[in-house]
Structure 1
Amino acid sequence: MTLAQRWRSARPEVAGVHLDSAACSRQSTAVLDAAGRHARHEAEVGGYVAAEAAATVLDAGRAAIAALTGLAGTDVVFTTGANNALDLLFSAWPGDRTVACLPGEYGPNLAIMAANGFAVRALPVDGDGRLDVPAAARQLAADPPALVHLTALASHRGLAQPVSDLAVTCTDLGVPLVIDAAQALGHLDCAVTPAAIYGASRKWIAGPRGVGFLGIQPELARRLRPRLPPADWNLPLTVLQRLELGEANIAARVGFSVALGEHLAAGPARVRAELAEVGRLTRDAVADVAGWRVVEARDEPTAITTLAPTDGADPQKVREWLIAERRIVTTYAATERAPFEMTTPVLRASPHVDVTADDLAQFAEALATATRKI
């Protein structure tokens, strides 16, 4: 059985065509059942007793994240998502608040940086928006910021950033590198052992919504000063325990842990290769649809295909039509996703490994029809 067949058979039958994994992938039956069983166990024995019983599963989830990032399982905490993880990290930063990031940085990330008092510096990129590593190395060496932040794969464009090269550069310069892996975990190779890395469950790993992770190397963790509880209380809690303190949806964490196990069992390198092929097939399918331009190069090693309108099409209305008329799910991406780079909204297609040639042909035909009708 192929990976695509296994992926499809492990999930409830899709109601239409799902081309929206960059927003939220479809969970497997095993993930759904694991989360449901935990919720039932909470009803049977109480939430805190059930949480203690789930400790082994959650430790396995942390270990899986560690395997995918180059950190240790003890360096990982669960969060409610990527935004929560970044806010926890940046609000705990004790020193100079300067951060270097891409000009096309994700809008909500920029909002969190601003809310935590960080001054943003733009890293140099090429004409496609990909980081220019040699130029970045010179810039960082001449005037190092407190932190470097790299979104490894953007929300508004399926461009793979040179994560490994930047990780080496930042290590050599002694500047902590923070990686946003919300789109990259389970999609690109993130095992580069950065100072910190964070992401979400619901995208390419195909876990539940409302859960994510934050991984922090011990050297960086020792520098942090989390807001809660106050440090002068002198409670016997580590930095990571303080970051993870509070109410949590343990059932979602259990589901995330199971999804991570499924990803490792499928083989991360194999999944990455198949997702790259999915991207090529998707771009080929829509390359000649009138009124749209495919943003990514055909061989960009990602499964995200971004379509920019060339003749006045409204991506939001097109997305709504595709759902209402053909049950095809895509993403409408407004300019606030990358406010310093985007000039027009786009339509995004992001199928997972189970997409078929027929699915893509349906999408191309429906896109052409929607463009003519709307």
Structure 2
Amino acid sequence: MTASLAAAWRAARPQVAGLHLDSAACSRQSIAAQEAAARHARHEAEVGGYVAAEAATPALDAGRAAVAALAGMPDAEVVFTTGSQHALELLLSSWPSGERTLACLPGEYGPNLARMAAHGFTHRTLPTDSRGRVAVDEAAAALKADPPDLVHLTPVASHRGLVQPLAEIATLCAELGLPLVVDAAQALGQVDCAAGGFDAIYASSRKWLAGPRGVGVLAVRPSLVQRLQPRLPPPEWAGSLSVAERLELGEANIAARVGFSVAVGEYIAAGPAAIRAQLAELGRRSRTVLADVPGWRVVEPVDEPSAITTLAPTDGADPRKVRDWLIAERRIVTTSAGIERAPLELTGPVLRISPHVDTTAEDLTVFAAALADATDAV
């Protein structure tokens, strides 16, 4: 583990009040990102919100460009949203008219499934192996035999730290001429998403990129942008607005977008490859340390290149009660994931930890002991 990267990440942030092992839910923002957002808010008070927004254009454009680079889509139109769910809503509500069949994984995020259904998409699941990773050869055969109108892939799910073969699926979809949309809420910043070959990708600010809450991004290739049909404003009212501008139109927290742009810039300056490598190492260490905690089973393979470690109870422990006890008694923040996270696959609630690069080996040992105590206590 790179001590200098961990130290720099830690020094850039306020001192944590306890132990934060919840970056897959919401990472800790840097002081610079917070101050950038605060400066913009002050500027709004000084010159007016719309004038301040115009002045922030270079910072926002830099944020868009950084997201496009991380996604391997330098020519993409990048639209700010309020989060991943808003991004998916914008995309599906603007999808070209016609048939609406969709292929996704059995572990698809529950709220995504709900939005797909709300917009008339009928889903079918891609074949996977025993762990839940997509079986590429079988998927290729299925997609070729009965092509859907859209393939939706979540490279890292909300309920498990398994990493899907994004590059292989992107290549496959490109070969078959199938649109591929990527939900990178848990992936962008944690695993390499610069595979290219997909038509759209969306993500949140607050997770591995450590930006503010209430911000997300949607990046769409020009070939798909021109086919989208935004509902608002209607074309006859849109005037000279581009499709991307129509998607982004509306009231927004520009200060938060500025903070996110700073955060993604910091991430790139720190070195995406180094961050990803350190996160993968933290995942390996976490699974090793937690393998022997009584009453829990580590879900991911020990060497899975992800920082997320999922713990399934084996003796009836309630992940929600354990999470609450850890916060109340030890000031340790984790996530309890219910079956609504993956209703087609998850059979019971699980506990999830997701350390960022500033987490130490000692922190993981402290958590393992606290988890044992929590399990006994609740």
TM-score by length of 1: 0.99
Q: Name the counterpart of 1:97.
A: 100
TM-superposed deviation, 1:269: 0.7
Structure 2 SS opposite 1:332: strand
Structure 2 SS opposite 1:197: strand
Instruction: Give the aligned residue type for 1:207.
Output: G
Give unmatched runs, 5+ long, in structure 1.
none
Give unmatched runs, 5+ long, in structure 2.
none
Distance 1:234-1:361 versus aligned 2 partners, 3 A rule: closer
Q: Name the counterpart of 2:65.
A: 63
1:176-212 per-residue CA deviation (whole Å, 9 max, x = no partner) reads 1000000000011111221000000000000000000
Give me the whole-angstrom Cα distance separating, in 2, the residues matched to 1:73 and 1:116.
Answer: 28
The answer to whether 1:38 aligns with 2:40 is yes
Instruction: Give the aligned residue type for 1:68.
Output: L
Give me the whole-angstrom Cα distance separating, in 2, the residues matched to 1:60 and 1:227.
Answer: 28
Q: How many residues align?
A: 374
Q: Name the counterpart of 1:343.
A: 347
Structure 1 SS opposite 2:16: coil
Give me the whole-angstrom Cα distance separating, in 2, the residues matched to 1:285 and 1:74.
Answer: 41
Structure 2 SS opposite 1:227: coil
TM-superposed deviation, 1:232: 3.7
Structure 1 SS opposite 2:202: strand
Instruction: Give the aligned residue type for 1:135.
Output: E
Q: Name the counterpart of 1:261.
A: 265
Instruction: Give the aligned residue type for 2:104.
Output: C
The answer to whether 1:15 aligns with 2:24 is no
* 1:153 and 1:159 in contact (8 A); partners too: yes
Q: Name the counterpart of 1:359.
A: 363
1:241-290 per-residue CA deviation (whole Å, 9 max, x = no partner) reads 11001011100100110011011001111111000000011111111000
Give me the whole-angstrom Cα distance separating, in 1, the residues matched to 2:376 and 2:75.
Answer: 52
TM-superposed deviation, 1:301: 0.2
The answer to whether 1:238 aligns with 2:211 is no
Q: Name the counterpart of 1:333.
A: 337
Structure 1 SS opposite 2:182: strand
* 2:76 and 2:222 in contact (8 A); partners too: no
Question: For 2:4, which of 2, 5, 13 is the aligned residue?
Answer: 2
TM-superposed deviation, 1:308: 0.2
Structure 2 SS opposite 1:6: helix
Which consecutive segments of 4 or more residues in structure 1 shift more than 6 A? none
The answer to whether 1:372 aligns with 2:361 is no
* 2:21 and 2:332 in contact (8 A); partners too: yes
Structure 2 SS opposite 1:78: strand
* 1:85 and 1:214 in contact (8 A); partners too: yes
Q: Name the counterpart of 1:81.
A: 83
* 2:77 and 2:219 in contact (8 A); partners too: yes
The answer to whether 1:145 aligns with 2:148 is yes
Structure 2 SS opposite 1:2: helix
TM-superposed deviation, 1:233: 3.4
| Identity percentage of aligned residues | 68
The answer to whether 1:127 aligns with 2:130 is yes
Give me the whole-angstrom Cα distance separating, in 2, the residues matched to 1:172 and 1:295.
Answer: 33
RMSD: 0.9
